[in-house]
Amino acid sequence: MKPLEGITVLDFSQFLSGPSATLRLADLGAEVIKIERPGGDIARTMYVSDCKIGNDSTLFHAINRNKSGISIDLKQKENLKKIEKLVQKADVAVFNFRPGVAEKLGLSYENLKEWNPRIIYGKISGYGEKGPWKSKPGQDLLAQSLSGVTWLNGNAENAPTPLGLSLADMFAGQHLVQGILAALIKREKTGEGVCISVNLMESILDIQFEMFTAYLNNGHKTPQRSRVNNANAYIGAPYGIYETKEGYLALAMASIVVLGRLLECKALEKYENPVEWATKRDEIKAILKEHLKTQTADYWLEILEANDIWCAKVMNWEELFATEGFKTLDMIQTIKKDDEPVFETTRCPIRIDGIKYFCDRPAPEVGEDNKLLL
């Protein structure tokens, strides 16, 4: 039995943040009903590549698997009664509309609470519901750009560099999941539902807690990206990814003197004071950058791993998928419909008592379950 079996979730959200939250709830056993407008979620046509699965984008399929689906025009007042009936039987409702939209549709927390006092109402916005940013579009790249995180990536001479994943969306979704799970526990004690709110901006600020804590307590000194192989604006040498004669090598924290000895790089052995590994970070990394090009990544790995140096080969997806380490994780699942494969994707990364959770169904077609649920 999955831990959330018996919990029903109404997913009014679209794009990535809300659906990623309800995906995780579905993976853990909740029955998730995706509620779309008659034309379908916009994410059905948001392509992250030129690949389609059926008539929809891979993005839509990746985050809406394991859900049933209905389509209904929420702007038509007569449909509100149908939604009310669904809410009365539900445990959770999830929204990621702009502030004020749910209220205009008659789907405010207050309304849903009247229909079902036990409902847990989860909502995601871009920047919260107050202040001058409340009406800004809640889009991941824009949230990253406002948050300061783009100044932590790339080398010092590079322009601000966004993260290569929609982390504001993804973390907001996972923060909402945490809030919903806490609310379910609280409801067991009180018998009442609650309203959970998160937003993209606070989520991407939260994941910078290490950097902000340093900044707030060191006199507001702005973090300086390394000019050479930057991987963290606050961590000293050798932290970074380096080109070798063949392939790339990642080096985490290590004694520069020990590295110099193991790599047979005498130029590093003079940096005996650990303070210099930070104050002379770029100087040290420049030496490493040139020296590591003299041999292959595999050559250096054999030496460094044997001496318990934190390092790794930098792999692309093709290389990753071929490794025994990746195969052992069993992270890829084949989603089927009527026993026929539809597409492949990752599985839920959470194991409970060693049990891995896989998906029972692909993303729904537009209105696929209207007859059953409406």
Query: Domains in the chain and their CATH numbers?
Result: 8-206+332-373 (3.40.50.10540), 240-314 (no CATH)
Consecutive H or E run containing 312: strand 311-314
The pLDDT tens digits along the chain (374 residues) read 999 999 999 999 999 999 999 999 999 999 999 999 999 999 999 877 778 888 899 999 999 999 999 999 999 999 999 999 999 999 999 999 999 999 999 999 999 999 999 999 999 999 999 999 999 999 999 999 999 999 999 999 999 999 999 999 999 999 999 999 999 999 999 999 999 999 999 999 999 999 999 999 999 999 999 999 999 999 999 999 999 999 999 999 999 999 999 999 999 999 999 999 999 999 999 999 999 999 999 999 999 999 999 999 999 999 999 999 999 999 999 999 888 899 999 999 999 999 999 998 999 999 999 999 99
- Enter the DSSP assignment of 249: E
Per-residue confidence (pLDDT) for residue 47, from 0 to 100: 77
Q: What is the DSSP string of 147-184?
A: HTGGGGSS-TTSPP---SS-HHHHHHHHHHHHHHHHHH
First to last CA, the chain: 27
- The strands making up 67-71's β-sheet, listed across from edge to edge, are 67-71, 31-36, 8-11, 92-95, 120-125, 195-199
Q: How far from the centroid of its chain's Cα atoms is residue 157's Cα?
A: 28
Per-residue confidence (pLDDT) for residue 54, from 0 to 100: 87
Give the Cα separation of 124 and 193 in Å (integer). Answer: 17
Instruction: Count H helices and E strands in the chain, helices first.
Output: 16, 15
Per-residue confidence (pLDDT) for residue 174, from 0 to 100: 99
Give the Cα separation of 181 and 27 in Å (integer). Answer: 13
Per-residue confidence (pLDDT) for residue 48, from 0 to 100: 73
The answer to whether the beta carbons of residues 112 and 141 sit under 8 Å apart is no
pTM of this structure? 0.95
251-280 per-residue burial string, b: 16 or more CB within 10 A, e: under 16: beebbbbebbebbebeebeebeeeebbeeb
Read off the amino acid at residue 342.
Answer: V
Token pair of 217 as six digits: 């307590």
Which is it for strands 332-337 and 340-346: parallel, antiparallel or unpaired?
Answer: antiparallel
Give the Cα separation of 23 and 13 in Å (integer). Answer: 11
The answer to whether the beta carbons of residues 150 and 160 sit under 8 Å apart is yes
Number of residues written out for the chain: 374
> Which of these is catalytic: 41, 91, 140, 169?
169
Would residue 169 show up in a list of annotated catalytic residues for this protein?
yes
Question: What are the contacts of 332-336 at 24+ separation with CB within 8 A?
Answer: 333/358, 333/359, 335/61, 335/65, 335/359, 335/361, 335/362, 336/362
